[in-house]
Copies of this chain bind each other. A is one copy, B any other.
């Protein structure tokens, strides 16, 4: 290994250690921390973030990067690592610390204001905070790249290489595909799913979900499952990736599919192995939120809502759900967990309408960032978009433009990842089926190590060495093409709805 690369990796690893420590502080806060500890915990987190930032912008890193950029003896992985480090170093050093501090302060206030506004259905009280956070995002984009469009700079933070134009063109195709599937379904009788709302105790769900992570091959020596208000995945170490879920006693699929979803994220994080030399470096990190989401969606939806997956597992599910599924056959169950119905809330949406929820947010946030849409006009624009795209009347802002936390956190450019995740996942799935003959049969037989092995080899082990576009090309032989997702949906819903 090149000596400069090794020095860079050593510095990088200290930053990673701090970031993992910060992750433990965050995980504990959501799981086991006693309530009164919250104030000091905020100080502990701020201290660790500050120390991690100091490590990330150390002038020594800048010097090493310059030296490396004038070397031409690097191997391809070393070059990739250099690229990643340069990108991140520039990002961290270009942002004035006053802006970072102000952003932290403003988003903290704004999140609290958002929670209050959503509770009281009072958009007006949130509007000035949203305005402020938007302005800081514009300043951030200008600091990072004054020559680019602000929204493009923000998008790039989550989905490396994505631009408003590239996403618009992909989403335009996806929109037509989704509307076409919706249209076919509309003429068919709705599927029955009332039995999914029968009560299943949290204790029974705990058992089911703990068994599920074993089924998925999520190694308990390197992770664990706990309960929190909102499910998440977090990396506390390269061998310590934890997930959380929650149980709704009157709708057990919520917890179950959250667990599978988060397991997908965790399996990706646990598979980010580029060899011991790069362990704990930025090269061994996820390349984008969209690729991350493709992993959770692959397990939750493509595999987790398939008949093949449940064929062997279904009897256990029936006996583990306290009678809720008594007399419900496998086909009926599969139909019920794939029910499609336009609805108000993104996080509860099915696979077809989900993309439409995302398109609404993508279009509105790009207009908010550019200033073409005024904050005060957001509720009206939101309601209009929902009516037009989903055919749904939004009854109030709490269930409208105030439903998601993202904007209050200052995350503009994040939402597209969710839909990109679906597109990537379907394209990867087609490649996987091509590479692994008899894949669905293996899944039917309970052998999930084949798909996991393929994901590890082709996606996880690439870490940040390739951009999302390079990765998709490398794995599938094509550029990103929504047709895979369209074909996947059409195949599935033809069966579910019999159109």
Contacts and interface: CB of A to CB of B under 8 A. Distances in A.
A43 B21 CA distance: 11
Nearest to A35: B221
Contacts of A236: 37
Given A17-B43, A18-B47, A237 B25 contact: no
Contact of A36 (B18, B35, B44, B221): B221
A220 B21 contact: no
A222 B24 contact: no
Interface in A102-137: none
A46 to B, nearest CB: 9
A434 to B, nearest CB: 34
Interface string A33-71: 111110111011001100100000000000000000000
A156 to B, nearest CB: 30
A240 B14 contact: no
Contact of A34 (B39, B44, B51, B239): B239
A224 interface: yes
A223 to B, nearest CB: 6
A28 interface: yes
B20 A44 contact: yes
A40 B43 CA distance: 24
A21 B48 contact: yes
A34 B238 contact: no
Contact of A25 (B24, B33, B41): B24
Contacts of A280: 40
A40 B237 CA distance: 7
Interface string A1-33: 000000000000010011011001100100011
Given A28-B28, A51-B51, A239-B39, A224 B34 contact: yes
Contacts of A240: 33-34, 36-37, 40-41
A450 to B, nearest CB: 24
Nearest to A47: B17
Interface residues on A, range: 35 or more
Nearest to A220: B34
Given A21-B25, A25-B21, A36 B224 contact: no
A35 B219 CA distance: 10
B40 A20 contact: yes
Nearest to A51: B51
A238 B40 contact: yes
Interface in A129-150: none
A20 B25 CA distance: 11
Interface string A404-435: 00000000000000000000000000000000
Nearest to A43: B17
A326 B28 CA distance: 41
A222 B34 contact: yes
Nearest to A37: B240
A44 B21 contact: yes
Interface string A194-234: 00000000000000000000000001111110100000000
A15 to B, nearest CB: 10
B221 A44 contact: no
Contacts of A239: 34, 36-37, 39-40
Given A34-B224, A221-B34, A237 B21 contact: no
A240 B25 CA distance: 13
Contacts of A32: 32, 224, 226
Contacts of A48: 21
B35 A28 contact: no
B14 A47 contact: yes
Contacts of A44: 17, 20-21, 237
Interface of A: 14, 17-18, 20-21, 24-25, 28, 32-37, 39-41, 43-44, 47-48, 51, 219-224, 226, 236-240, 242, 280
13 contacts: A17-B40, A21-B25, A32-B32, A34-B221, A34-B240, A35-B221, A36-B222, A37-B222, A37-B236, A37-B237, A37-B239, A40-B239, A44-B237
Given A37-B237, A39-B239, A40-B237, 13 more contacts: A14-B47, A17-B44, A21-B44, A24-B25, A32-B224, A34-B221, A34-B222, A34-B224, A36-B240, A37-B222, A40-B240, A40-B280, A51-B51
Give the 4 A-B residue pairs with the shortest CB-CB distance, closest first. Answer: A37-B240, A36-B239, A40-B237, A36-B221
